[in-house]
Amino acid sequence: MHRTLILTLSALSLLLTACSDQSDSEPLVRNSASEPAGSLTEAGKMPEQNIPAEQSLSAHSRALFEWFDTLGVPNLDGRKYLRIYLGTYRSTWDVKEKPHYDYAFLLDSTENQVFTLGMSVAIYSRKRDLWLWEEPYRFEEFDLSTDVIERLQELRALSRQEDYHQLKADRTDDPVALFILARGCYGNGFEQQAKDLISYLAELPDLRTGEPVGLVGIKNILSEDMAASDLATTLHAFSEPEVSRESLRQRFLEIATRYPQSTSAIQARESAAILTRMIKEDEAHDQVTNKPLAQMTPREQVAELIYQLRDQNVEDKNGIRVGPWGGGTYSFNQVLYQGSPATQLVNIGDVALEQLIDAVDDDSFTRYASSHRVVRVGECCQAIIDRIQPTGRIFDVAGNPQRAKAAMKAWYLGN
């Protein structure tokens, strides 16, 4: 038995020695900075149980980066990080001029193409706008790791209520920008900074509960912000006549597909459905033999001009100008440009009223838009009616279209 005890102790000693040797050996995870540009590190592909927790991002964080990479964004692995000088500016609360910067990852040094923290691909031309005094752009490679450390120090020092403009050097607290920085850190071997950024995002308060969103909630806040940004860009693109309705429809479908749980996805799906209908109507309209307006009956003229309101675009001096609005009520300036469908309908006068009233609930998009919404054909019809007979009477078309139309016909037509 004594011999057995000695053998047992010897075996334990050998086992402890082996474990000690293994812990002192090189870690299993390689730093991604040593990997070729454009490739992910092997650490990002290893099973979770083989990755020491203190040396690698969590599986959830890596899954967030993998999801981000499916959104049609450039690969940020091995990309240089830039700070771009954009001139100077003077804030309303500070009389001193300050340097204005943008931060981005370099995609193509030949064309100065970058991926910004606003999640867009941009090209910084050497030609400058006058408002920046035609100073040349100045690019400088910036230390990504140091920048992130300083950003987080500033963010944590500021209270939640303080305005992001208090951050130095044009830095932002926008969650999407911080996540892009985290993805850039991960792709350049700065995993600690990537983890710190993810941890900060997880601490952000949920707008509904006020509680931290946690790791699981990060994707939700990112999806909301990204979808809202894409939606605003798509809505504004309506004002560009060269952007086809089919292209706009595809953009809406992409938003709904990429961010299906976001609130913007609801509007995107509804907008795509309207555009689908409009495209079919365009095809049917094109198949009809078009006569010049002069050869049409008055009723045909009004119908054609109401149809053409879908191409009203104030940017082209070819439509009704929409003034400031608030609270969901739209006011129209008294500016109509000669030759536009709206102007011609106003010139036709009372003869057009009945058909205009029938179209006040037409939700077809026009080509006048902001980043918040697109003016509808029905809204244009209401404004035109008020120009023909400027009574200032407001009818609740959205609440009950048929009742509103009946009331409008009684008011304007006496029937």
Instruction: Write phi, then psi, for 366 (nearest 5 degrees).
Output: -95, -170
Question: Whose structure tokens read 């309303």?
Answer: 92
Nearest to 155 by CA among 183, 118, 185, 197: 197
Which of the residue ranges 85-94, 228-237, 381-390 would you say has the lowest mean pLDDT? 85-94
pLDDT value of position 41: 32
Residue scoring higher pLDDT (13 or 398): 398
Cβ pair 42, 32 in contact under 8 A: no
User: Does 89 have pLDDT greater than 50?
Assistant: yes
Long-range contacts of 192-200 (CB under 8 A, 24+ apart): 193/144, 193/145, 193/148, 193/149, 194/57, 194/61, 195/57, 195/61, 196/148, 196/149, 196/152, 197/148, 197/152, 198/57, 198/61, 198/64, 200/152, 200/155, 200/156
Cβ pair 310, 377 in contact under 8 A: yes
Q: What integer best gives the mean pLDDT of the chain?
A: 79
User: Does 161 have pLDDT greater than 70?
Assistant: no
Residue scoring higher pLDDT (326 or 318): 318
Model confidence at 171, pLDDT cuts 50, 70, 90, reads confident
User: Does 47 have pLDDT greater than 90?
Assistant: no
Per-residue model confidence as pLDDT tens digits over 181-199? 999 999 999 999 999 999 9
Nearest to 282 by CA among 308, 303, 319, 301: 308
- 103: three-class secondary structure by DSSP: strand
pLDDT value of position 92: 60
Model confidence at 160, pLDDT cuts 50, 70, 90, reads low
d(CA 288, CA 304): 12
pLDDT value of position 132: 45
Q: What is the mean pLDDT of residues 323-332?
A: 30
Q: Running DSSP on this structure, what letter comes out for residue 205?
A: B
Q: What percent of the chain has pLDDT over 90?
A: 54
Q: What is the mean pLDDT of residues 129-155?
A: 79
Model confidence at 177, pLDDT cuts 50, 70, 90, reads very high
d(CA 189, CA 269): 39
Cβ burial of 377 (10 Å; 0-12, 13-18, 19+) is: buried
Model confidence at 329, pLDDT cuts 50, 70, 90, reads very low
Cβ pair 53, 28 in contact under 8 A: no
pLDDT value of position 353: 96
d(CA 178, CA 4): 61
Q: What is the mean pLDDT of residues 200-224?
A: 92
Cβ pair 304, 295 in contact under 8 A: no
Q: Is the dihedral of CA 220, 222, 226, 228 positive or negative?
A: positive
13 CB-side CA count, 13 A: 6
Q: Which two tokens stand for residue 198?
A: 């993810």
pLDDT value of position 107: 95
> CA dist 184 to 35, 175, 226, 344, Å?
14, 14, 17, 55
Model confidence at 313, pLDDT cuts 50, 70, 90, reads confident
Residue scoring higher pLDDT (322 or 277): 277
d(CA 304, CA 302): 5
Q: What is the mean pLDDT of residues 133-144?
A: 77
User: Does 88 have pLDDT greater than 80?
Assistant: no
Cα angle at 363 between 358 and 366, to 5 degrees? 105
Residue scoring higher pLDDT (205 or 48): 205
- 108: three-class secondary structure by DSSP: strand
d(CA 401, CA 414): 18
- 339: three-class secondary structure by DSSP: coil
DSSP characters over 79-93: PPEEEEEEEEE--TT
Per-residue model confidence as pLDDT tens digits over 101-135? 889 999 998 878 999 999 999 888 755 543 444 56
User: Does 50 have pLDDT greater than 70?
Assistant: no
